[in-house]
């Protein structure tokens, strides 16, 4: 096919974003960070004073999200929001708006539009199950809860932010529980997805494994 897809789904702070971006880079493929769209939607709702529980209101915003991915940055209404969408409260808001079927429907076509030649690496929760069910390679990338909390902790410290490991562990498990329990597009490993547990792997090892799988499909 002229437009192969690799989907990388998994829980928060598993490192799937880092691995997905590097795999895309190595292959010269496009990259879709679908979580960023949910984060943008949460941030946009906050700025437009629309409640995260207001399904129709948030879906309306999602359908006309004035967002762009350009120069390695994420833009909302012409403002660089790359850092703002990574805040922990926006991650929590993203997981709340992502549980609304109306919001997921509003973002579906926008995600599929990322699939253009020479190919795409897409990361998220439902890339292999809903958005790109016919992907050539589906990966479910995870790591133990302890390792994920530690990675998120180090990320925050590196950014010069204050961080509390227990708090992070609680936040991650709350977000995972909501992502896995929701009725639409819940977080789970698809039967045809390959499991990549990165608890004991370096980033390079994880990237090489995905590339090896892809070379063999």
Binding region for ligand C5P (CB under 6 A): 12, 34-35, 38-39, 91, 94-95, 98, 124-127, 175, 179
Question: What's CA 201's distance to the chain center, in Å?
Answer: 20
Q: Is 142 annotated as a binding residue?
A: no
Angle between helices 88-97 and 165-181 (to 10 degrees): 10
Give the Cα separation of 61 and 120 in Å (integer).
Answer: 26
Residue closer to ligand C5P, measured from CB, 38 or 52? 38
Q: Is 17 annotated as a binding residue?
A: yes
Q: Is 117 annotated as a binding residue?
A: no
Q: Is 12 annotated as a binding residue?
A: yes
Nearest to 33 by CA among 18, 52, 49, 17: 17
Residue closer to ligand C5P, measured from CB, 2 or 129? 129
Q: Is 173 annotated as a binding residue?
A: no
- At its nearest, how many Å lie between ligand C5P and the CB of residue 216? 25
Dihedrals phi, psi of 161, to nearest 5 degrees? -95, 160
- At its nearest, how many Å lie between ligand C5P and the CB of residue 38? 4
Give the Cα separation of 205 and 217 in Å (integer).
Answer: 19
Residue closer to ligand C5P, measured from CB, 138 or 175? 175
- At its nearest, how many Å lie between ligand C5P and the CB of residue 126? 5
| Cβ atoms 6, 210 nearer than 8 A | yes
Q: List Cβ neighbours of 191 (8 Å cut-off, separation of 6 or more).
A: none
Residue closer to ligand C5P, measured from CB, 12 or 209? 12
Residue closer to ligand C5P, measured from CB, 180 or 215? 180
Nearest to 193 by CA among 175, 177, 215, 217: 217
| Cβ atoms 44, 61 nearer than 8 A | yes
- At its nearest, how many Å lie between ligand C5P and the CB of residue 2? 24
Q: Is 7 annotated as a binding residue?
A: no
- At its nearest, how many Å lie between ligand C5P and the CB of residue 177? 11
Indicate the annotated binding residues for ATP.
10-18
The annotation places the binding site at 10-18
């Amino acid at each position: 096919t002229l437009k192969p897809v690799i989907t990388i789904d998994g829980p928060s702070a598993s490192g799937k974003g880092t691995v997905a971006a590097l795999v895309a880079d190595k292959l010269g493929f496009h990259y879709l960070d679908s979580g960023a769209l949910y984060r943008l939607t949460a941030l946009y709702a906050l700025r437009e004073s629309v409640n995260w529980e207001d399904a129709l209101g948030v879906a309306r915003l999602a359908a006309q999200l004035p967002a762009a991915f350009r120069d390695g940055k994420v833009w909302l209404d012409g403002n660089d929001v790359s850092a703002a969408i990574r805040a922990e409260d926006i991650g929590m808001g993203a997981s709340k708006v992502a549980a609304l079927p109306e919001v997921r429907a509003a973002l579906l076509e926008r995600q599929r539009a990322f699939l253009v030649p020479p190919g795409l690496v897409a990361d998220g929760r439902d890339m292999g199950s809903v958005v790109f069910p016919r992907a050539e390679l589906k990966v479910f990338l995870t790591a133990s809860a302890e390792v994920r909390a530690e990675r998120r902790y180090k990320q925050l410290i590196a950014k010069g932010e204050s961080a509390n490991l227990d708090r992070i562990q609680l936040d991650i498990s709350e977000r995972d529980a909501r992502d896995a329990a929701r009725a639409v597009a819940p977080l789970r490993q698809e039967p045809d997805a390959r499991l990549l547990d990165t608890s004991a792997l370096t980033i390079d090892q994880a990237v090489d494994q995905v590339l090896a799988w892809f070379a063999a499909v």
